[in-house]
Amino acid sequence: MKQVTVKALSEQLGVAFGTSGVRGLAKDLTPELCFAFVRSFLQEVCPHSTTVAVGIDLRPSSPDIAKACLAAIEASGAEAIYCGALPTPALAFYAMQNTMPAIMITGSHIPFDRNGIKFYRPDGEISKADEAAIMDGDVSIPADLAQQVEQAQLPTVNNTATELFKTRYTSLFPADMLQGKRIGVYEHSSVARDVIKDLLIHFGAEVVSLERTETFVPIDTEAVSEEDKQKGLDWSKQHNLDAIVSTDGDGDRPLISDEKGHWLRGDILGVLCANYLNATHVAAPVNVNTVLELEGKKQTPARTSLRTKIGSPYVIAGMEQLEQEARNTGLTAFSVVGYEANGGFLVGSDMQVNNQTLHLLPTRDSVLPILIVLAMSHQQQRAISLLSAEFAERYTASDRIKDIPTETSKQLIADLKASKEKQSELLSVIAERDETLEVVSIDETDGLRMTLNNGDIIHLRPSGNAPELRCYVESSEPSRTAGLVEKILLNAC
């Protein structure tokens, strides 16, 4: 046996926790490192667990990573339930319902040559404190581990988790709500594609399958590519669709289009879902549309919202804080949810929906927001494009520069924050003729979020998952947002 500290091994290979889970190049996620992470997780965070649920996405590197994780579970004296390829929220829900930890092998939306591991305690996603405990863990690794993994075969798939996840939704919405609707499913390499098709068919939709691939496609629902924007428009016309739905690779971030093929922004989707569920408290990261607060003021009583750092662990901590505050103020009837700019939606407390109980699921989910939008369209007898027609005119856009070292991004942001001159230089490239722009307030919750004197918002931050610089903007002019992002990123470096 070889004794190692997870942190030392992690630093040696350049693999670390990102905004949600361990992320790194697939070649650096060695059997030794994956074994160490899982062994430390069970040793430091879930020391008394006897059963662990394991799932994978459809990346070609995921099965081998799973073998190393399964070896670590066995070495820890626990039994693994191998749930095969399934959406991350399906694995998390199954584990929570059965009070067991879970391990999902997925790189979510990040590029093809990368992968990752997400960890769940029996009560949901691990916290940042748990991440630190895992990194500090000292574990024993078998000397012949590489040989063990090479010779191992994956166990027979247990489909219980997938079926339980589908039942969560078939019991919640009207069985005929999609009767007569034509829904396109942009399948690509999403691990959720078959689950989503099964659900749509259950609710009566005619499903049109679009671009199913056997090679992995990294779809980022927060920064939809121009190619995918055009695909949505083309498919909608070609197939006469009422909506198009999709997800990222592991099925925890949704992509939904209206009847015209325009993809909905994830932060507008989050507000629609909060409204449909009559949520009293909402946690969301600092980069989401300010429609959150503007819509919250319309509720009776006004909805409480909390802004957090970007990443599901922070949103989950925010939901827990809101729940505690609600209890401390004597509220007995409240419902807590969270969402992110990528559209992933989290349920922080049990609540009644359509006279059924929607059980808490404090991890990102793509299926609930997809079905909520379709249910709203059905119940209101309105096209999807009209569901947010009464929202305040605030529009967001985002994009990223790829392959820029994180330290470079951090230094750029630090320089921009410290220098009014550099701020003015950057703002000069987006100013209209005869317009003088200046920063009136700065939010440093996560990166640098600058509110300008014309009401526009510019937000820069390094990605927590990949070497990328992300830019988010918000404006009252829809035609202005894409240009703002493009000019800011072009001139930021």
How far is Cα 64 from Cα 70, in angstroms, rounded to an integer? 10
CB distance 283 to 305 below 8 Å:
yes
CB distance 16 to 23 below 8 Å:
yes
First vs last C-alpha separation in the chain:
48
**Beta-ladder partners of 350:** none
Of 192, 120, 167, the C-alpha closest to 359 is 167
Left if phi > 0, otherwise alpha if psi is -120 to 50, otherwise beta: which for 63?
alpha
CB distance 369 to 341 below 8 Å:
no
How far is Cα 25 from Cα 13, in angstroms, rounded to an integer? 9
CB neighbour class for 193 (10 Å; exposed up to 12, middle 13-18, buried from 19): buried
CB distance 107 to 23 below 8 Å:
yes
Strand 138-141 relative to strand 2-5, pairing: antiparallel
CB distance 249 to 216 below 8 Å:
yes
CB distance 25 to 114 below 8 Å:
yes
Of 350, 340, 317, 323, the C-alpha closest to 125 is 317
Six-digit token pair at 289? 């549309």
Six-digit token pair at 167? 């039942």
Put the strands of the sheet holding 254-257 in their side by side order.
206-212, 182-188, 243-247, 254-257
Of 9, 74, 107, 224, the C-alpha closest to 466 is 107
**What SS3 class is residue 117?**
strand
Residues identified as active-site: 108
Q: Strand runs (DSSP E) across 321-391, as ranges?
A: 336-339, 345-347, 351-353, 356-358, 361-365
DSSP state for residue 245 in the 8-state scheme: E
Question: What are the helix and strand counts (H, E) for the chain?
Answer: 16, 25
The DSSP annotation for 166-194 comes to HHHHHTTS-TTTTTT-EEEEEEET-TTHH
